[in-house]
């Protein structure tokens, strides 16, 4: 009871928290109870969802344990953020990282000797240095904390071998307790941590559901990802926002495209290729932005720790559910309602594409099932909200225009006409909110899908035969709903074939115009006629 009162008092006076969450209470109390015992304990593996207060589970104990608390992070941005948090609470800490001079590092280690600091924050690469091991070995390490521990399994066998080597390092350090924290861990990650960190001595597992009820999950089918991001983030309520891209170049070009569409909305791009000063400046910038948009690489975006992010967008579908839940969990860490959106186009492949392409199975249920969890209720996904997007924005306008004017436009000229604010053509300016580049991108995707084709001479566009029936059904339904007319069920046997284009494309266009509105016209003519409804 005395320990519990001490914990609650520190939580209130130092951290401004009047009531701990149940899992926080469990973890903190167990850590402190074991600190005073000279026993060979198993260690602790804690899986709590983002926004649930994992950091407090080791920040608060660091004030009460006898020895040092050493915290290992996989990213420099996370290290900087944790230093800021400790400093704000008046807790002495040092950061051991690359690029420090010998004199600077000597001064940092000396501050431990005079008890000026109780916490050492570092990364796996620095902890593996003989000089650092030697200095830390002179002190009792009560807690060795590994945050974002899933990266040891996910990254350690690839581009971060130092993470995989953390386990054997423990043998060279006087560590009393090892604590691993992560927001997402499937069985493979848990088993991997058992092998590499706890050396097959299974730790005590504290595991909460990875579900984030305040995040709604959406799939946005699109012809142009640049335009999709522009549309999704146009509303002020959708910002601040984090947009994940697969490559460094992708962050730059996506940010540039967004800036063209919304020059008044502050946006930046962020990846590991930037130098330390630039990255730190961007972290500070985004942390203070109320409406900012940050485009980041997937791996580096994990270091973005801003509690008020309202929207997380993935321009490319992540490889697996664990990665997606980790990255989308950047949203809504303040507990307010937020959304996570995946952009889908026909170029996407992989198991996660089928998950977000489902029209019957709950996204949340599917995601958590891959982590071995069950969910009984979903209060936010396209399937459960009956809001699955069946049409792609701009697709009907593009197909209708090409159907009305086959062999008239090239991709470039059509993009210019549709995006223009002026024009005498009935289709002019119907996509005025799109840029020419976005329209051309949409046309190239439709060409790749085989929904439209180009005549070899001057690359004139026309609809493929399989597309006519789909378009006609959509337009007939639109006419019936808007004007109360009946679907005619017209015979489609008299289809004009454009597989072998006529000698003169001008003659084709003229005959199409003449046929519009005729009772017994061809399917092409009917599409052209119905497409002109306004």
| DSSP per-residue letters across 53-71 | -TTHHHHTGGGTSSSEEEE
φ and ψ of 501, to 5 deg: -55, 145
Identify the pLDDT of residue 39: 60
What is the pLDDT confidence band of residue 425, given thresholds at 50, 70 and 90?
low
d(CA 59, CA 62): 5
How far is CA 504 from its chain centroid? 50
Is residue 96 predicted with pLDDT exceeding 50?
A: yes
| H or E element in which residue 299 lies | helix 298-301
Q: Residue 272 burial (CB < 10 Å; 0-12/13-18/19+)?
A: middle
Give yes or no for a contact between 337 and 363, defined as CB atoms under 8 angstroms apart.
no
Token pair 């209130």 is found at: 12
Identify the pLDDT of residue 106: 93
Domains of the chain: 2-207 (3.40.50.300), 215-369 (3.40.50.300), 395-531 (1.10.10)
| H or E element in which residue 460 lies | strand 460-463
Output 144 or 35, whichever has higher pLDDT.
144
Is residue 148 predicted with pLDDT exceeding 70?
A: yes
Is residue 34 predicted with pLDDT exceeding 80?
A: yes
Decide: helix, strand or coil at residue 439. Answer: helix
Strands 338-344 and 311-314 turn out to be: parallel
Q: What share of the chain is helix, strand, coil (3-state, %, to 5)?
A: 45, 15, 40
Identify the pLDDT of residue 417: 86
Residue-wise pLDDT for 56-81, tens only, equals 999 999 999 989 999 999 988 889 88
Token pair 């799109």 is found at: 434
Identify the pLDDT of residue 407: 86
Strands 44-47 and 175-182 turn out to be: parallel
Residue-wise pLDDT for 307-316, tens only, equals 899 999 999 9
DSSP H helices, 36-158, are 56-59, 76-88, 102-113, 124-127, 130-136, 150-154
Give the pair of three-digit tokens for residue 429. 């300016």
DSSP for residue 204 = E
Is residue 461 predicted with pLDDT exceeding 80?
A: yes
Is residue 381 predicted with pLDDT exceeding 80?
A: yes
Sheet holding 204-207, edge to edge: 93-96, 119-123, 68-73, 141-146, 175-182, 44-47, 204-207
d(CA 93, CA 90): 9
Give yes or no for a contact between 74 and 155, defined as CB atoms under 8 angstroms apart.
yes
Identify the pLDDT of residue 496: 32
**Which residue from 159, 95, 185, 167 is spatially nearest to 299, judged by alpha carbons?**
159
| H or E element in which residue 327 lies | helix 321-328
- Terminal Cα-to-Cα distance of the chain (whole angstroms): 74
pLDDT, averaged across the chain? 83
Identify the pLDDT of residue 482: 46
What is the pLDDT confidence band of residue 501, given thresholds at 50, 70 and 90?
very low
Is residue 519 predicted with pLDDT exceeding 60?
A: no
Looking at the DSSP bridge assignments, the partners of residue 69 are 119, 143
Is residue 339 predicted with pLDDT exceeding 80?
A: yes
Identify the pLDDT of residue 292: 95
Residues 6 or more apart in contact with residue 286 via CB below 8 angstroms:
240, 268, 270, 292, 294, 304, 306
Least confident of 158-172, 283-297, 360-374, 418-432: 418-432
What is the pLDDT confidence band of residue 483, given thresholds at 50, 70 and 90?
very low
pTM across the whole model: 0.79
């Amino acid at each position: 009871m005395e320990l519990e009162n001490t914990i609650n008092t520190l939580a209130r006076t130092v951290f401004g928290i009047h009531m701990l969450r149940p899992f926080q209470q469990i973890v903190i109390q167990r850590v402190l109870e074991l600190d005073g015992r000279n026993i060979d304990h198993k260690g602790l593996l804690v899986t709590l969802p983002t926004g649930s207060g994992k950091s407090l589970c080791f920040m608060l104990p660091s004030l009460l344990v006898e020895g040092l608390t050493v915290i290992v992070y996989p990213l420099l941005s996370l290290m900087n953020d944790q230093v800021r948090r400790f400093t704000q609470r008046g807790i002495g800490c040092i950061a051991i990282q690359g690029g420090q001079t010998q004199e600077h590092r000597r001064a940092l280690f000396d501050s431990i000797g005079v008890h000026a600091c109780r916490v050492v924050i570092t990364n796996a690469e620095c902890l593996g240095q003989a000089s650092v091991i030697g200095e830390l070995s002179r002190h009792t390490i009560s807690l060795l904390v590994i945050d974002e521990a899933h990266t040891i399994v996910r990254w350690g066998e690839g581009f971060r071998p130092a993470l995989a080597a953390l386990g054997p390092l423990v043998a060279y350090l006087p560590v009393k307790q090892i604590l691993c924290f992560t927001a997402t861990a499937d069985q493979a990650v848990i088993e991997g941590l058992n092998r590499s960190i706890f050396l097959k001595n299974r730790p005590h597992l504290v595991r909460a559901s990875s579900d984030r009820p305040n995040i709604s999950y959406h799939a946005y089918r699109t012809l142009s990802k640049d335009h999709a991001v522009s549309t999704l983030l146009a509303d002020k309520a959708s910002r601040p926002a984090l947009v994940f891209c697969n490559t460094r170049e992708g962050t730059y070009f996506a940010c540039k495209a967004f800036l063209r569409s919304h020059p008044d909305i502050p946006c930046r791009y962020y990846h590991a290729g930037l130098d330390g000063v630039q990255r730190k400046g961007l972290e500070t910038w985004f942390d203070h932005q109320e409406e900012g948009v940050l485009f980041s690489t997937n791996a580096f975006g994990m270091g973005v720790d801003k509690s008020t992010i309202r929207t997380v967008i993935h321009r490319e579908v992540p490889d697996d559910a664990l990665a997606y839940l980790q990255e989308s969990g950047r949203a809504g860490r303040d507990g307010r309602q937020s959304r996570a959106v995946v952009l889908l186009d026909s170029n996407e492949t992989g198991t996660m594409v089928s998950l977000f392409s489902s029209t019957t199975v709950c996204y949340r249920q599917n995601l958590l099932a891959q982590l071995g969890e069950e969910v009984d209720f979903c209060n936010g996904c396209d399937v459960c909200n009956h809001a699955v997007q069946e049409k792609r924005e701009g697709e009907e306008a593009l197909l209708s225009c090409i159907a009305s004017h086959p062999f008239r436009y090239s991709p470039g000229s059509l993009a210019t006409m549709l995006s223009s604010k002026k024009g005498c053509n009935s289709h002019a300016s119907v996509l005025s909110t799109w840029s020419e580049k976005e329209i051309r991108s949409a046309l190239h995707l439709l060409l790749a899908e085989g929904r439209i084709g180009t005549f070899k001479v001057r690359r004139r566009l026309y609809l493929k035969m399989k597309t006519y029936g789909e378009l006609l059904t959509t337009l007939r339904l639109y006419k019936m709903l808007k004007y109360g007319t009946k679907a005619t069920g017209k015979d489609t046997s008299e289809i004009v074939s454009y597989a072998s284009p006529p000698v003169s494309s001008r003659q084709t266009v003229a005959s199409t115009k003449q046929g519009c509105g005729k009772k017994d016209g061809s399917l092409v003519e009917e599409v052209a006629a119905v497409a002109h409804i306004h």
